[in-house]
């Protein structure tokens, strides 16, 4: 057996090279033993297309596709490598922005249905946030019933998508200087959908053929995502399902239970998964599960659906992007329920080897061989119950299974509202303490470690390396998406991580506030929370008057999706320095590579650079942070200066169990 496995592996990587995560490694060995493929092995078996991966293949018309491989070569129409790489990049932005924004649109439609009393099982969980958003949107709140406000807010949000002229309202959250810059360059999104259509139009054969001009519209479409579609998604999710605050939960494949009906929710939207969660605690269904021989019903998540349910309800996470196949590989999943985005087509075929049912639910997503039970928010609870019942019925069909015994405790739930409250206290919610800590040098700067897993790299390895190295340098980490799950799996989303990894200054701040040094801020649409924090930090004063002044960096070290390109672009267009790992998708053109970095930096103060080596990512991030500190006239970072105060509070907290510690820190019991 071992020999056979060795032979099959031949050119492939070992499980240790494929993933840093011991749970993943165990499942990768099982995959080999069962003779099943995964994204890891398929990536090993298929090299990326050398032309497409550098952005040098144009297939926007059928005189081509044209593959530009030699210097000075053009397409049949005469398109240059600069135009082709820029067009490909802009189209990726458009697709990514569409995915995020459409998610926001669906939440606006759900809010409208809730306001009209037509959405079974839903209610408005955060009326305060609804009122704040209403005021921002110029909607009257005084003396009006919540439903009436929700109706107007839902409609105003929906209107931002179809708006044709003017400005998308939410850009008002950005610092004044930033808005002026966007206006100067005609980069303010006129409407969320309009800017996406504009990108698709101008990158059609025979339109915009100036790379700088194409990419400028790319930024505009991406801003419509970051300060539009995604921001709507975050705000409305909080209004409908609750604004997150810290809670205790668990991560990794070990959250799958051997003697319960296991249901995994995977994808991105909280709308159905929240109802499935409700259905799993339905006494009738729990009783039904017991009749079928199970001890109960266990819900866990994968990818950003997981982040949504984890942040708000503490539903444990079975893992990030590359765990979707590995979860099925355990043989212990009765149903994997998927909604939209990041769902591998390999799932239904893989599931045929076990008893697992893969259930698609979105009207937009069907997968051949998967079961389709279409979701409709008007009958959400009934549909959720039907799905849970199906999973229970499937429990007796479970065969041999193997669940890796790995979990780690996590404390997620850091919405921008909570961070504000945590730092300033209930009487004086404020970012002042954070600004002060950065200004004094206790915190050297902030890095957002975000984005996907990619089987072209070792799963989680770069996320993990960056986080540990940056913590040592007194850098505060904020995280979303699959990056946050990577940190969670390795115990970094805990106060303990400050003791073990944080530099002396950052550790002092964590001790004083009780916060972990790595803050899980949510799903990928919740990167907008980071934009909001940055804007509020600027408004607080002392760290410049624009986002581009703040000593902060965004890194997506293991990215793979078009959404990641849209996020990187709106962050850069908002003034941030963004580093992307894995591969430069515009490598075919040196000019376009420079346009995205030095070109954009000169124009909007933010830039995207593609860096593959983790050490180099850390070096550049720190260099940027120190450069921004110097520009603000702040003292140079000095690791010797802080951390001489006693660690008694931390030691006291460490002596408690995770649940008691959460209660002591956040004033709420675990899992509440």
Site residues for ligand XCC per CB under 6 A: 268, 303-304, 320-321, 342, 451-452, 481-482, 523-524, 561, 563-564
Number of residues that bind ligand SF4 (CB under 6 A): 14
Q: How far apart are CA 547 and CA 531, in angstroms?
A: 8
- Answer yes or no whether residue 65 interacts with ligand SF4 by CB under 6 A: yes
SS3 539: helix
Tell the smallest beta-carbon distance from residue 71 to ligand SF4 (Å): 16
In the complex with ligand SF4, the residue whose CB is nearer, 61 or 146, is 61
Stretch that binds ligand SF4, among 52-60, 232-240, 315-323, 507-515 (CB under 6 A): 52-60
In the complex with ligand SF4, the residue whose CB is nearer, 62 or 427, is 62
Among 15, 55, 75, 244, binds ligand SF4 (CB under 6 A): 75
Tell the smallest beta-carbon distance from residue 220 to ligand SF4 (Å): 22
In the complex with ligand SF4, the residue whose CB is nearer, 557 or 585, is 585
Q: How far apart are CA 628 and CA 71, in angstroms?
A: 38
Binding at 273: pick from ligand SF4, ligand XCC, none (beta carbon under 5-8 Å per type) = none
- Answer yes or no whether residue 77 interacts with ligand SF4 by CB under 6 A: yes
Tell the smallest beta-carbon distance from residue 56 to ligand SF4 (Å): 10
In the structure encoding, which two tokens stand for residue 398, read together? 């479970």
In the complex with ligand XCC, the residue whose CB is nearer, 260 or 269, is 269
Tell the smallest beta-carbon distance from residue 257 to ligand XCC (Å): 23
- Answer yes or no whether residue 69 interacts with ligand SF4 by CB under 6 A: no
- Answer yes or no whether residue 63 interacts with ligand SF4 by CB under 6 A: yes
Distance of CA 560 to the CA centre of its chain: 12
- Answer yes or no whether residue 255 interacts with ligand SF4 by CB under 6 A: no
Q: How far apart are CA 620 and CA 466, in angstroms?
A: 12
- Answer yes or no whether residue 52 interacts with ligand SF4 by CB under 6 A: no
Tell the smallest beta-carbon distance from residue 74 to ligand SF4 (Å): 7
Q: How far apart are CA 422 and CA 514, in angstroms?
A: 9
In the complex with ligand XCC, the residue whose CB is nearer, 288 or 559, is 559
Q: Residue 205 class from Cβ within 10 Å (0-12 exposed, 13-18 middle, 19+ buried)?
A: middle
Strand partners, 555: 449, 579
Binding at 504: pick from ligand SF4, ligand XCC, none (beta carbon under 5-8 Å per type) = none
Q: How far apart are CA 255 and CA 404, in angstroms?
A: 9
Would you tell me how many other CB atoms lie within 10 Å of the CB of residue 258? 13
Binding at 561: pick from ligand XCC, ligand SF4, none (beta carbon under 5-8 Å per type) = ligand XCC
Tell the smallest beta-carbon distance from residue 40 to ligand XCC (Å): 14
Tell the smallest beta-carbon distance from residue 442 to ligand XCC (Å): 30
Q: How far apart are CA 100 and CA 82, in angstroms?
A: 27
Tell the smallest beta-carbon distance from residue 199 to ligand SF4 (Å): 15
Strand partners, 264: 300, 336
Stretch that binds ligand SF4, among 58-66, 383-391, 431-439, 610-618 (CB under 6 A): 58-66
- Answer yes or no whether residue 22 interacts with ligand SF4 by CB under 6 A: no
**CA distances to 449, 473, 483, 567, 608 from 554, in Å:** 6, 16, 12, 10, 9
- Answer yes or no whether residue 51 interacts with ligand SF4 by CB under 6 A: no
Stretch that binds ligand SF4, among 69-77, 131-139, 255-263, 468-476 (CB under 6 A): 69-77
Q: Residue 339 class from Cβ within 10 Å (0-12 exposed, 13-18 middle, 19+ buried)?
A: buried
Tell the smallest beta-carbon distance from residue 232 to ligand SF4 (Å): 34
Q: How far apart are CA 124 and CA 147, in angstroms?
A: 9
SS3 265: strand
- Answer yes or no whether residue 64 interacts with ligand SF4 by CB under 6 A: yes
- Answer yes or no whether residue 60 interacts with ligand SF4 by CB under 6 A: yes
Binding at 61: pick from ligand SF4, ligand XCC, none (beta carbon under 5-8 Å per type) = ligand SF4
Among 205, 365, 499, 632, binds ligand SF4 (CB under 6 A): 205
b/e sequence 368-404, b meaning 16+ C-beta within 10 Å:
eebbebebebebbbebbbebbbbbbbbbeebeeebbb
Tell the smallest beta-carbon distance from residue 656 to ligand XCC (Å): 32
Tell the smallest beta-carbon distance from residue 65 to ligand SF4 (Å): 5
Q: How far apart are CA 353 and CA 397, in angstroms?
A: 12
Among 58, 108, 264, 492, binds ligand SF4 (CB under 6 A): 58
Strand ranges (E), 598-647: 607-610
b/e sequence 277-291, b meaning 16+ C-beta within 10 Å:
bbbbebeebbebbee
In the complex with ligand SF4, the residue whose CB is nearer, 60 or 149, is 60
Binding at 321: pick from ligand XCC, ligand SF4, none (beta carbon under 5-8 Å per type) = ligand XCC
CA atoms within 13 A of residue 162's CA, in its CB half-sphere: 6
Tell the smallest beta-carbon distance from residue 321 to ligand XCC (Å): 4
- Answer yes or no whether residue 66 interacts with ligand SF4 by CB under 6 A: yes
Find the DSSP H helices in 320-458: 324-329, 346-351, 380-394, 416-424, 432-440
- Answer yes or no whether residue 79 interacts with ligand SF4 by CB under 6 A: yes
In the complex with ligand SF4, the residue whose CB is nearer, 65 or 671, is 65
Closest CA to 386 of 372, 369, 368: 372
SS3 581: coil
- Answer yes or no whether residue 491 interacts with ligand SF4 by CB under 6 A: no
| CB-based contact 419:449 (threshold 8 Å) | no
Q: How far apart are CA 530 and CA 555, in angstroms?
A: 13
Helix axes 230-241, 303-313, angle to 10 degrees: 40
Tell the smallest beta-carbon distance from residue 293 to ligand XCC (Å): 34
- Answer yes or no whether residue 61 interacts with ligand SF4 by CB under 6 A: yes
b/e sequence 21-46, b meaning 16+ C-beta within 10 Å:
bbbbbbbbebbbeeebebbbbebbee
Residues near ligand SF4, by CB under 6 A:
58-61, 63-66, 75-77, 79, 84, 205
């Amino acid at each position: 057996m071992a020999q056979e496995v060795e032979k099959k592996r031949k050119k492939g990587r070992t499980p240790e090279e494929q993933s840093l995560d011991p749970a993943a490694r165990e499942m990768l060995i099982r995959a080999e033993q069962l003779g099943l493929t995964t994204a890891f092995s398929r990536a090993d078996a298929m090299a990326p297309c050398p032309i497409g991966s550098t952005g040098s293949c144009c297939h926007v018309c059928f005189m081509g596709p044209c593959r530009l491989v030699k210097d000075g070569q053009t397409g049949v129409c005469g398109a240059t490598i600069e135009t082709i790489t820029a067009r490909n990049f802009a189209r990726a932005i458009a697709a990514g922005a569409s995915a995020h924004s459409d998610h926001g649109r669906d939440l606006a439609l759900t809010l409208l249905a809730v306001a009209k009393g037509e959405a079974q099982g839903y209610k408005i969980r955060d009326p305060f946030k609804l009122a704040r958003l209403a005021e921002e949107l110029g909607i009257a709140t005084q003396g009006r019933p919540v439903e009436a406000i929700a109706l107007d807010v839902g409609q105003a949000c929906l209107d931002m998508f179809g708006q044709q002229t003017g400005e998308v309202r939410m850009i008002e959250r950005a610092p004044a200087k930033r808005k002026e810059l966007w206006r100067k360059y005609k980069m303010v999104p006129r409407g969320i959908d309009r800017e996406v259509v504009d990108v698709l139009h101008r990158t059609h054969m025979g339109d915009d053929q100036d790379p700088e001009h194409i990419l400028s519209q790319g930024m505009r479409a991406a801003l419509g995502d970051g300060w539009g579609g995604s921001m709507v998604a975050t705000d409305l999710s909080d209004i409908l399902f609750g604004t997150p605050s810290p809670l205790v939960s668990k991560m990794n494949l070990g959250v799958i239970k051997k003697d319960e009906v296991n249901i995994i929710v995977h994808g991105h939207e909280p709308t159905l998964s929240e109802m499935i969660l409700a259905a799993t605690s339905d006494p009738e269904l729990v009783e039904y599960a017991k009749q079928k021989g199970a001890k109960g019903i266990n819900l866990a998540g994968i990818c950003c659906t997981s982040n949504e349910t984890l942040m708000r309800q503490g539903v444990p996470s079975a893992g990030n992007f590359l765990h979707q196949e590995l979860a099925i590989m355990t043989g212990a999943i009765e149903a994997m329920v998927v909604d939209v985005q990041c769902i591998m087509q390999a799932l239904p075929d893989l599931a045929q080897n076990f008893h697992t049912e893969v259930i698609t639910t979105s009207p937009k997503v069907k997968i051949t061989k998967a079961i389709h039970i279409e979701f409709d928010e008007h009958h959400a609870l009934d549909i959720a119950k039907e799905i849970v019942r199906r999973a229970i019925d499937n429990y007796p069909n479970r065969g041999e299974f193997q669940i890796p015994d790995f979990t780690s405790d996590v404390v997620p739930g850091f919405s921008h509202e909570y961070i504000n409250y945590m730092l300033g206290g209930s009487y004086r919610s404020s970012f002042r303490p954070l600004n002060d800590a950065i200004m004094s040098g206790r915190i050297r700067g902030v890095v957002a470690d975000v984005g996907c897993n990619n089987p072209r790299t070792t799963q989680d390895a770069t996320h993990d390396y960056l986080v540990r190295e940056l913590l040592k340098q007194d850098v505060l980490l904020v995280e979303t998406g699959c990056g946050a799950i990577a940190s969670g799996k390795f115990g970094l989303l805990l106060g303990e991580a400050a003791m073990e990894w944080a530099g002396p200054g950052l550790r002092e701040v964590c001790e004083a506030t009780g916060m972990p040094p790595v803050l899980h801020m949510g799903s990928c649409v919740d990167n907008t929370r980071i934009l909001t924090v940055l804007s509020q930090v600027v408004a607080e004063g002392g760290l410049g008057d624009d986002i581009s002044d703040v000593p902060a960096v965004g890194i997506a070290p293991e990215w793979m999706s078009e959404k990641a390109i849209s996020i990187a672009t709106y962050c850069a267009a908002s003034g941030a320095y963004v580093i992307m790992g894995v591969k430069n998708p515009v490598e075919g053109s040196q000019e376009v590579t420079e346009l995205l970095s030095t070109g954009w930096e000169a124009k909007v103060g933010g830039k995207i650079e593609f860096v593959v080596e983790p050490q180099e990512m850390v070096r550049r991030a720190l260099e940027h942070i120190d450069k921004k500190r110097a520009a603000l006239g702040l003292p140079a970072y000095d690791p010797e200066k802080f951390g001489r105060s006693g660690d008694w509070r931390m030691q006291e907290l460490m002596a408690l169990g995770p649940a008691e510690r959460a209660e002591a820190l956040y004033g709420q019991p675990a899992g509440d």
